[in-house]
Amino acid sequence: MNASTSETQVPFTTIIGLEVHVQLQTLTKLFCGCSTAFGAPPNTQVCPVCLGLPGSLPVMNQRAFRLALKAALALDCNIASFTKWDRKNYFYPDLPKGYQISQFDLPFSMDGTLEVIDPKGTIGPCRVGIVRVHLEEDAGKSMHDETAGSGDTRIDLNRAGTPLCEIVTQPDLRSPQEARLWLNELKLLLVYLGVSDCNMQEGSLRVDANVNLHIPQPDGRIAKTPIVEIKNMNSFRSVERALVYETTRQWGVWQETHAEMGKTPKQTRGWDDPAGVTRAQRHKEESSDYRYFPEPDLVPVTVSSAQQAAVRSEMGEPPVRVRKGLETRWKISAYDADVLVNQGRQLVDYFEELATLIGDGKIASNWLQQDVLRTLNERGGTIEDFPVRPAALAELIARVNAGDFDTSRAREIFSEMLASGRSAADAVLSMGIAVVGDDELVALCRDILAANPKIVADVKGGKEQAAAGLIGHAKKKNPNINPGKVRTICIDLIRAMQ
Amino acid sequence: MQPADLSAIDLVAAVRQGDLSAVQCTEAFLNRIQYCNGAINAFLNVDRAGALACAESIDVRRRSGQPLGPLAGLPVAVKDALCTADLPTTAASKILENFRPPYDAFVVSRLRQADAVIVGKTNMDEFAMGGSNENSAFGPVHNPWDFSRAPGGSSGGSAACVAADMTPVAIGSDTGGSIRQPAGLCGITGLKPTYGRVSRRGLIAFASSLDQIGPMARSAADCALVLETIAGHDPGDSTSLTDAVPRYTSLLEQPLAGVRVGRVPEHFAAGLDPEVAKGVEEAFAVLKAAGATVHDIAMPHAKYGVATYYLVAPCEASSNLARYDGAHYGHRASAKPSSAFESPLIEMYCRSRAEGFGPEVKRRIMLGTYALSSGYYDAYYAKALKVRRLIRQDYLDAFEHVDLIGGPVSATPAFKLGEKTGDPLAMYLVDLYTVSTNLAGVGGISFPCGFTKSGLPIGFQLQAPALGEPLLLRASDRFQRLTDWHLRRPPNLTALCTPKG
């Protein structure tokens, strides 16, 4: 929390850096042909290579490398022309080879940035440096079966060898809210690029956070609290909550102990979401020496500028540019553009198709946000499967614009279109809605005026809002009338009486 | 004529022409194995039934006029470091006792596709770590020339197998001399190809950046025949070379006139057995007589070869062998709950590894783990990589001036079993002349160039630039056309092998 921008002034600056692991959207693993599909029965997506059987050798998945390259280019990283693989040696039951193939001193990309602007304006623009992006294989999964009381651990190696992109940021984030905002933008970017589905529930995106406090001292020195690494956060909301908790905790510890960085080893704490606290994890001093050395079973990878250009050309627009594009092309607010873009590329495509058909971005945006998104939230599903396609919705909106019916009537028609899959015209027919002709409407209005002298008198007396009472009577006579039109006609007729 | 008297090339021709059936051929060698192996212990596993079934199917196909592979009917023994789907694969380690891989090594598949008959798996130093075959968990191999002596290692079983005519050819692997040194000590011909020429897929890794599979046979021509089958690109081994494989057997005819052979004077310094020195010098004379010229060359960093090798290889091995934990396959220690361990799982790991690995393997795992540890990495592993580059450069520089480098394979002829087992450092020095080839990634061949007065073979080594196998084989073949050392057989072997009582 930066003292100058936070609501409640605090006498310290929060320093946050993130380590994000993203599972790449490949069909097969990083070094073998096994499927990466989520949810298969344990140990059914394995082969000698990802099981680490004697004599097996890895072969790099070219698509995984291209996807990782795409991510790094989108994060504005420098791409190394020469990169190699290293073995990270550690012993764990879900790591079949006893080492993980990763990248140590020559990652394929370094020195990038990703800037985020909060459309709500509550947080200033934050520009976060990327230390490095590298590619590595995932380990298997250990499932601790404590329910049986036996303390058994079961190993599922389906995930072993899945391609992961590790993104390490500079400690450039200054508040838990910033961290969450930035992670949202990173996720959106990776999803837009097709690099990852970033599904946190399935473990496609995992975040660890490093956090400490910088506390100005009376003598002008900055005291720094020991850096804590927080693990086990299962959503961006958890990341924000864990960081808020940890900031407060560190401030409390500081006030008690005045312990500074370097005096104690870096601590790892796990986030306990239900309890809302971080807890110290057992130290694993011996595992910190990974004995990295170059992986002799793989050859170094060279990346030419032509390859970079090819990846760039298939990259598509990042969300930040899509937002700007929507604002300028369709004259919608930054806020609205943000809401639409956050829903993903497919929704943006739907919006643009609709806006083009009706020739109005604002109306298209309103319909999407108020009706389409609400429906999606209620019913689930994706915009690609949404039964009302842009053309059908555009037809409905055109009828509203033509004054055939008002918005609330249009919403009923929209519901019918959703339920039946009918076009706007067919839905109107099936609902028995007949458009009331102008002459018919004037005649109807005359009838109501004749039957409601009190209201007519009120309107005459200057209480124009009394005309609303006429609309109810009109609707009783004919449910298909356009209330706005009725109101206008009635007032005109009353004025003509005078 | 007995099949054992024929070269591999002639055997294959005889089977193809129908002069000899594959079954006859296979049976002859299986019988020889049955007779000799008890005394020599070259085999860890003999697949009599499988070999005969394979031979039978070859004969059936030949009789019905179907095409046969280039090695049809040729009995081959395979070092137990190569995975075979139908036979246990142990790398001579207790930790892999009874392990059956679910797949064949690339080389084994190639041999099968070529209709070779795989007769069994040969003994070796555990995980190919050793130079005497005494590190096998299943007993040492005895040198057919003198049963009280070591056959060399680590491919000692393959070397002894060929030397005792138990198969005409065998497959070995060479990480620091493991094909060439036992070939030299057993009086046969062994080729370590250029790194990447033969796929390592399915070879149980010792030191991945050094390991290379190669043929062992009675002659260079027979090695050429086998190499044609096992060499070539494998998309499943990222380090395998894509260069086309020449027909090595058809490139043997060209004479040696004008070929420049380098001689490293330091090879003849103190420590080289005088009889070996004499044999090696005479080999240079034979090459000269064949039209080659001999030139003294400098290999300034060769003296650091052993030190470099014994850092690089154990470092890689410490990582390669981390997977043997008793959990998924191989030896698992029985549960014996004790409070000495953090958990029953940790105890199972620790005891499985303690029981499963032999002392030399443990020593190298510890050496490698130590050398890669933070604080030591720069002083050991990183420095070893730098020296490795210098050694590689020595070779590049030398090959500016010469086409081949000749010299001894090992400093002494076969030594006594047990002679060096108490002194690991003395054992490491048996690799003195061979490790640099692997560090440089080039090819080398060894073949007999004489015998000591006591009747032990003396080996000669030739090394060539990367992908110089055609010249290595041609020069060796030419040498073997002018000499008959490679045709000599251990005397009285049959009598010595006769089971007592």
Domain extents in chain A: 13-309, 315-430, 438-497
Q: With contacts defined as CB-CB under 8 Å, which chain B residues touch A153?
A: 345
Nearest to B322 among A56, A58, A91 (CB): A91
Task: Write the DSSP assignment of A294-312 as a string of letters.
Answer: E-TTS--EE--HHHHHHHH
**Which residues is B191 bridged to in the sheet?**
B445
Query: Cβ–Cβ of A53/B381 closer than 8 Å?
Result: no
Low-confidence ranges of chain B (pLDDT < 70): 1, 335, 337, 499-501
Selected catalytic residue, list B79, B94, B192, B420: B79
Task: Write the DSSP assignment of A9-51 as a string of letters.
Answer: --SSEEEEEEEEEEE---SB-SSSS-B--TTPPTT-S--HHHH
Distance between B321 CA and the closest CA of chain A, angstroms: 8
Query: Cβ–Cβ of A54/B83 closer than 8 Å?
Result: yes
**In this complex, is the C-beta atom of A442 within 8 Å of any C-beta atom belonging to chain B?**
no
**In this complex, is the C-beta atom of B329 within 8 Å of any C-beta atom belonging to chain A?**
yes
Task: Write the DSSP assignment of A58-78 as a string of letters.
Answer: ----HHHHHHHHHHHHHTTPE
B476 catalytic, yes or no?
Answer: no
Query: Cβ–Cβ of A56/B201 closer than 8 Å?
Result: yes
Query: Cβ–Cβ of A53/B101 closer than 8 Å?
Result: yes
Per-residue model confidence (pLDDT) at position A145: 67
Residue B313, both tokens: 């290889």
**In this complex, is the C-beta atom of A98 within 8 Å of any C-beta atom belonging to chain B?**
yes
**In this complex, is the C-beta atom of B66 within 8 Å of any C-beta atom belonging to chain A?**
no
Per-residue model confidence (pLDDT) at position A147: 63
**In this complex, is the C-beta atom of B82 within 8 Å of any C-beta atom belonging to chain A?**
yes
Selected catalytic residue, list B132, B173, B178, B446: B178
Query: Cβ–Cβ of A89/B202 closer than 8 Å?
Result: no
Distance between A27 CA and the closest CA of chain B, angstroms: 18
**In this complex, is the C-beta atom of B382 within 8 Å of any C-beta atom belonging to chain A?**
no
Per-residue model confidence (pLDDT) at position A286: 45
292-331 of A, contacting B, C-beta below 8 A = 292-293, 296-299
Rounded to an integer, what distance in angstroms lies between the CA atom of residue B164 and that of residue B34?
12
Task: Write the DSSP assignment of B260-276 as a string of letters.
Answer: EEEE-GGGGSTTS-HHH
Residue in A closest to B322 by C-alpha: A98
Q: With contacts defined as CB-CB under 8 Å, which chain A residues touch B207?
A: 296
Per-residue model confidence (pLDDT) at position B337: 67
Rounded to an integer, what distance in angstroms lies between the CA atom of residue B186 and that of residue B144?
7
85-124 of B, contacting A, C-beta below 8 A = 89, 91, 96, 99, 101-103, 105
8 Å CB contact between A89 and A116 = no
Per-residue model confidence (pLDDT) at position A262: 83
**In this complex, is the C-beta atom of A140 within 8 Å of any C-beta atom belonging to chain B?**
no
pTM of the predicted model as reported, rounded to 2 decimal places? 0.90
**Which of B79, B195, B323 to mutate to test binding with chain A, by most A CBs within 10 Å of its CB?**
B323
**In this complex, is the C-beta atom of A97 within 8 Å of any C-beta atom belonging to chain B?**
yes
**Which residues is B446 bridged to in the sheet?**
B190, B461
Chain centroid, CA A465 distance in Å: 45
Nearest to B236 among A57, A87, A99 (CB): A57
For chain A (498 residues), the mean pLDDT of every run of 10, in chain order, is 51 96 97 95 96 97 96 96 96 94 96 90 88 97 71 88 97 96 95 93 94 94 94 94 96 92 85 94 66 97 95 92 93 92 92 93 91 87 88 88 80 86 81 74 85 84 81 79 81 81
Q: With contacts defined as CB-CB under 8 Å, which chain B residues touch A89?
A: 318-319, 322, 372
Distance between B347 CA and the closest CA of chain A, angstroms: 13
Place of tokens 């420095």: B383
Q: With contacts defined as CB-CB under 8 Å, which chain B residues touch A54?
A: 83, 89, 91, 96, 99, 101, 204-205, 323
CB pairs under 8 A between A and B: 92
Query: Cβ–Cβ of B91/A60 closer than 8 Å?
Result: no
Residues in Cβ contact with B1 at an 8 Å cutoff, skipping those fewer than 6 apart: none
Query: Cβ–Cβ of B322/A51 closer than 8 Å?
Result: no
User: How crowded is the C-beta side of A38, counted as CA atoms within 13 Å?
Assistant: 11
CATH of domain A438-497: 1.10.10
Helix, strand or coil for residue A225?
Answer: coil
**Which of B372, B376, B377, B378 to mutate to test binding with chain A, by most A CBs within 10 Å of its CB?**
B372
Q: With contacts defined as CB-CB under 8 Å, which chain A residues touch B332?
A: none
Q: With contacts defined as CB-CB under 8 Å, which chain A residues touch B82?
A: 55
| Inter-axis angle of helices B48-63 and B22-40, nearest 10 | 160
The domains of chain B, with CATH numbers, are: 3-258+480-497 (3.90.1300.10)
Q: With contacts defined as CB-CB under 8 Å, which chain B residues touch A60?
A: 238
> Which one, of A176, A166, A160, A162, lies nearest residue A244 by Cα?
A176
B436 catalytic, yes or no?
Answer: no
Distance between B324 CA and the closest CA of chain A, angstroms: 8
Phi, psi angles (nearest 5°) of residue B434: -115, -25
Selected catalytic residue, list B21, B132, B136, B154: B154
**In this complex, is the C-beta atom of A57 within 8 Å of any C-beta atom belonging to chain B?**
yes
> Which one, of A227, A220, A213, lies nearest residue A255 by Cα?
A213
Distance between B285 CA and the closest CA of chain A, angstroms: 40
**Which residues is A216 bridged to in the sheet?**
A222
Query: Cβ–Cβ of B323/A296 closer than 8 Å?
Result: no
Task: Write the DSSP assignment of A229-254 as a string of letters.
Answer: EEEEE-SHHHHHHHHHHHHHHHHHHH
List of E strands, B133-202: 169-174, 189-192
Nearest to A55 among B201, B322, B374 (CB): B201
Distance between B92 CA and the closest CA of chain A, angstroms: 13
Residue in A closest to B237 by C-alpha: A57
B79 catalytic, yes or no?
Answer: yes
Per-residue model confidence (pLDDT) at position A1: 41
